[in-house]
């Protein structure tokens, strides 16, 4: 008898009773069967029925109080979502055709092409239907195509094969791998959001960077993101160990290392001991950015794409010095285009844009020693939602640039800077401003000013000085504005203020 959660057992029993009334044979199929055999918990259940799947799904959803969602009208696939559980349960309903074996022949991989008759499963007398010997491939830990046509039938399976192998820690069968390489271009026919969903599931896994390499081996990485192909072989300054392409992939590795998800070939525990880390930072990176995407995943995406504009910005001067002027700003725009094509949300895109656009700022700050409290305030004001994440991207970028040639003293300096900035930012956040010292009307009255952008600039400067502890009273605020007007520093534009802060 298989072990499943009581709430799921109750739901399936209700489902079976309804299907019996409809005189509709049904089988549990796919990933749920696979995970049962692997003793893995899952709340996603695939059920294949003999009758019209969409109509059955509508009836069942109504009777069990679930939400009905049409997934694929052409292939007759629908979903029932039960949200009144401890965790949401998803029942995907499809039709299996003339026989269950016929239905299994249309599935993707042998480990997903097994079935158990529903009533037998619930009564404890289950018999496994396994026409493609999936149970043997489970034992051998192999992902193998059911047929040579699986990718032609649905090309998103190209990405799913890699994601599934990563998730289960399986290998991909040699013939299946060759078929993937041969048919990689089929992925271009798949809607961006379906590609995105598989990529997000892959990137959420520890050591996903190894599988990004695998995607490149089977020609998929640069089909999904053709812009990456131009990074290959692009030479960098002598400080860099790898070309731009390999540096970009290695930056994903070092991000995972810094997020305590994996070891790094050139790293050690001593390296991690100097990296700022806490329960609060761990929770920060676990924060959701969108469905199936948190800050960890977004940071990995930014790591992969942070130098995407280097080829177009590369210059070599008369001395042979290589430079990539403006690559951060242009890269942010280019990365946004890539993510928009893959149908990422505006929130996800904006975070990755900011990460890439500002990924050099911590290094620029480091060149001037420890920054002032005001500079830290301006940094986080300018980077906002992405501020902490950018600091970690900068650390990962450093490691992926130096590779085995990293320097412990230099690494320590970088981390002292990052730790100092995070601590000061937390202090500024905790010391909430208790009162507004002055308002716009006060400034116009005292200094004879008229309403306009200048008032806003002055108030922002007052707020900033109060935040970093330089002024604490109304009189100090008024005197600060008087001195600012006399010196004329209010005429600088915001970019100039950021430059001064850095």
Q: What is the rounded CA–CA span in Å between residue 54 and residue 129? A: 24
Can you give the pLDDT at residue 250? 98
Burial class (CB in 10 A: 0-12, 13-18, 19+), 221: buried
Burial class (CB in 10 A: 0-12, 13-18, 19+), 320: exposed
Describe the crossing of helices 387-402 and 346-357 by its angle, rounded to 10 degrees. 50
* Helix residue ranges per DSSP H, 274-360: 279-286, 295-305, 310-313, 327-341, 346-357
Digitized pLDDT (tens) for each residue of the chain, 502 residues in all: 566 776 777 778 888 888 888 788 889 998 999 998 998 887 788 999 887 888 888 888 888 888 899 888 777 889 888 876 567 788 899 888 889 999 999 999 999 999 999 888 888 887 899 999 999 999 999 999 999 999 999 999 999 999 999 999 999 999 999 999 999 999 999 999 999 999 999 999 989 999 999 999 999 999 999 999 999 999 999 999 999 999 999 999 999 999 999 999 999 989 999 999 999 999 999 999 998 899 999 999 999 999 999 999 999 999 999 999 999 999 999 999 999 999 999 999 999 999 999 999 998 886 667 888 888 988 998 898 899 999 999 999 999 999 999 999 999 999 999 999 999 988 887 765 557 778 888 888 888 888 778 888 888 787 777 776 777 788 888 888 888 888 775 554 443 333 323 2
Instruction: Give phi and psi for 78, each to the nearest 5.
Output: -135, 165
Strands 115-117 and 26-29: antiparallel
Structure tokens at 444: 């116009």
Contact 190, 224 (CB under 8 A): no
Nearest to 286 by CA among 380, 357, 167, 204: 204
Q: Residue 314: helix, strand or coil by DSSP?
A: strand
Can you give the pLDDT at residue 496? 34
Can you give the pLDDT at residue 432? 59
Can you give the pLDDT at residue 502? 22
Q: What is the rounded CA–CA span in Å between residue 209 and residue 261? A: 11
Instruction: Give phi and psi for 316, each to the nearest 5.
Output: -130, 120
**For the whole model, what pTM was predicted?**
0.84
* Helix residue ranges per DSSP H, 141-225: 150-153, 157-168, 174-182, 192-203, 208-217, 221-224
Contact 480, 461 (CB under 8 A): yes
How many other CB atoms sit within 10 Å of the CB of residue 314? 16
Q: What is the rounded CA–CA span in Å between residue 178 and residue 187? A: 15
Q: What is the rounded CA–CA span in Å between residue 78 and residue 437? A: 59
Contact 304, 331 (CB under 8 A): no
**What is the torsional sign of CA 252, 253, 254, 260?**
positive
Contact 93, 76 (CB under 8 A): no
Q: What is the rounded CA–CA span in Å between residue 134 and residue 394? A: 45
Structure tokens at 365: 């700050």
Q: What is the rounded CA–CA span in Å between residue 467 and residue 465? A: 5
Structure tokens at 190: 């798949």
Structure tokens at 363: 């290094």
DSSP characters for 403-437?
GGG--HHHHHHHHHHHHHHHHHHHHHHHS---S--
Q: What is the rounded CA–CA span in Å between residue 208 and residue 363? A: 27
- Measure the CA angle with vertex 160, ends 67 and 180; round to 5°: 150
Can you give the pLDDT at residue 442? 83
Strands 77-82 and 67-72: antiparallel
458 sits in which H/E element: helix 453-467
Alpha-carbon distance values, 190 to 119, 145, 151, 339 (Å):
36, 19, 11, 15
Q: What is the rounded CA–CA span in Å between residue 48 and residue 93? A: 6
């Amino acid at each position: 008898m298989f072990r499943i959660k009581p709430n799921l057992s109750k739901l399936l029993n209700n489902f079976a009773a309804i299907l019996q009334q409809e005189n509709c044979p049904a089988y549990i199929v796919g990933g749920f069967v696979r995970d049962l055999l692997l003793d893995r918990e899952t709340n996603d259940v695939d059920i294949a029925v003999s009758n019209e799947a969409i109509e059955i799904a509508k009836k069942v959803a109504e009777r069990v109080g679930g939400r009905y969602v049409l997934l694929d009208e052409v292939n007759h696939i629908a979903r029932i979502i039960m949200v009144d559980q401890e965790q949401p349960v998803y029942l995907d309903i499809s039709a299996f055709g003339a026989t269950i074996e016929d239905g299994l022949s249309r599935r993707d991989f042998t480990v997903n092409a097994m079935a158990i008759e529903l009533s037998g499963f619930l009564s404890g007398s289950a018999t496994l239907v396994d026409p493609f010997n999936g149970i043997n491939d489970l034992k051998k830990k192999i992902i193998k195509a059911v047929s040579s046509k699986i990718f032609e039938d649905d090309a998103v399976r190209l990405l799913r094969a890699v994601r599934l192998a990563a998730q289960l820690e399986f290998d991909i069968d040699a013939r299946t791998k060759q078929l993937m390489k041969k048919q990689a271009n089929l992925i271009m026919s798949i809607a961006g959001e379906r590609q995105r969903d598989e990529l997000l599931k892959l990137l959420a896994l520890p050591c996903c960077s190894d599988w990004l390499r695998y995607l490149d081996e089977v020609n998929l990485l640069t089909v999904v993101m053709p812009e990456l192909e131009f990074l290959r072989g692009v030479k960098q300054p002598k400080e860099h160990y790898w070309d731009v392409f390999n540096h970009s992939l290695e930056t994903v590795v070092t991000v995972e290392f810094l997020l305590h998800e994996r070891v790094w070939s050139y790293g050690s525990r001593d390296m991690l001991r100097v990296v700022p880390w806490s329960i609060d930072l761990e929770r920060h990176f676990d924060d959701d950015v969108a469905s199936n995407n948190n800050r960890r995943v977004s940071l990995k995406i930014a790591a992969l794409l942070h130098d995407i504009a280097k080829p177009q910005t590369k210059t070599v001067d008369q001395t042979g010095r290589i430079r990539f002027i403006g690559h951060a700003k242009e890269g942010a725009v280019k990365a946004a285009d890539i993510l928009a094509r893959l149908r990422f949300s505006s929130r996800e895109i904006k975070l990755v844009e900011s990460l890439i656009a500002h990924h050099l700022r911590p290094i620029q700050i480091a060149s001037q020693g420890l920054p002032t409290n005001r500079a830290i305030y301006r940094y986080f004001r300018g980077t906002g939602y992405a501020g902490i994440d950018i600091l970690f991207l900068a650390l990962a970028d450093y490691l992926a640039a130096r590779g085995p040639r990293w320097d412990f003293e230099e690494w320590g300096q970088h981390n002292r800077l990052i730790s100092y900035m995070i601590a000061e930012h937390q202090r500024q956040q905790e010391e909430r401003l208790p009162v507004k010292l002055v308002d716009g009307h006060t400034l116009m009255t005292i200094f004879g000013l008229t309403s306009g952008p200048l008032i806003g600039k002055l108030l922002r400067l007052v707020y900033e000085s109060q935040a970093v502890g330089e002024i604490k009273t109304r009189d100090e605020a008024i005197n600060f504005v008087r001195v600012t007007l006399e010196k004329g520093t209010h005429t600088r534009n915001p970019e100039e203020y950021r430059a001064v802060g850095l």
